[in-house]
Amino acid sequence: MIYPIVKYGDPVLERKGDSIMEFDTPELNGFLEDMFESMYAAKGVGLAAPQIGFSRRIAVIDCSLGEDPAQKIVLINPQIIAVEGKQKGEEGCLSIPGFREDVTRGKKVTVRAQTAKGETFEMTGEDLLARAFQHETDHLHGRLYISHISALKRDLIRRAVRKKVKAGEWT
């Protein structure tokens, strides 16, 4: 099932997600399938559960946009455990469509998370994957990428979004 993407302004995006305690259930496996489907439909490289309205600590990533099944990553209850170096680059978010800003992130990042079966693993990514680890883990803490840009730029985006909401262009 493809869920619509929740847009900036919805409180679920700024709420800390609940940890997942039950693994390897048909409900969880089905939900993960829905997350990948929803992410591919929206043409994103990452999606966090709050972005489809569920306050749960689950994110999916696929830097190949569905081209290479080997690049599908499921992160359940993830935490960033190591960050090396810095990268500056444009970042956007499916929940804030039409906007992109430069964000400085770690260049090489290690995440610790659980699989759908509940096994703990660690994975290190660089560049785009490192950025995705940080962006998606942030989502599960109720943090959006615009919290990493200047207050001035964030305010410009907020005002532009408010206009779109008024015009009925933000649903």
Nearer to Ni ion, 65 or 119 (CB): 65
How many residues bind Ni ion, per CB under 5 A?
1
Which residue blocks in the chain are alpha helix, DSSP H?
26-41, 127-140, 151-166
Indicate which single residue of 6, 61, 76, 93 sits in contact with Ni ion (rule: CB under 5 A).
93
Which residues does the annotation mark as catalytic? 136
In angstroms, give the least distance from the CB of 26 to Ni ion: 27
Q: Give the residue with the Cβ less far from Ni ion, 118 or 160.
A: 160
Residue 23 vs 170, nearer CB to Ni ion: 170
149 belongs to the binding site for Ni ion (CB under 5 A): no
Q: Say if CB 139 and CB 51 are below 8 A apart.
A: yes
Establish if 103 lies at the interface with Ni ion (CB under 5 A): no
**DSSP-based three-state secondary structure for 50:** helix
DSSP code per residue over 135-159? HHHHHHTT--GGGGS-HHHHHHHHH
Give the 3-state secondary structure of residue 14.
Answer: helix
Contact residues: Ni ion, CB under 5 A: 93
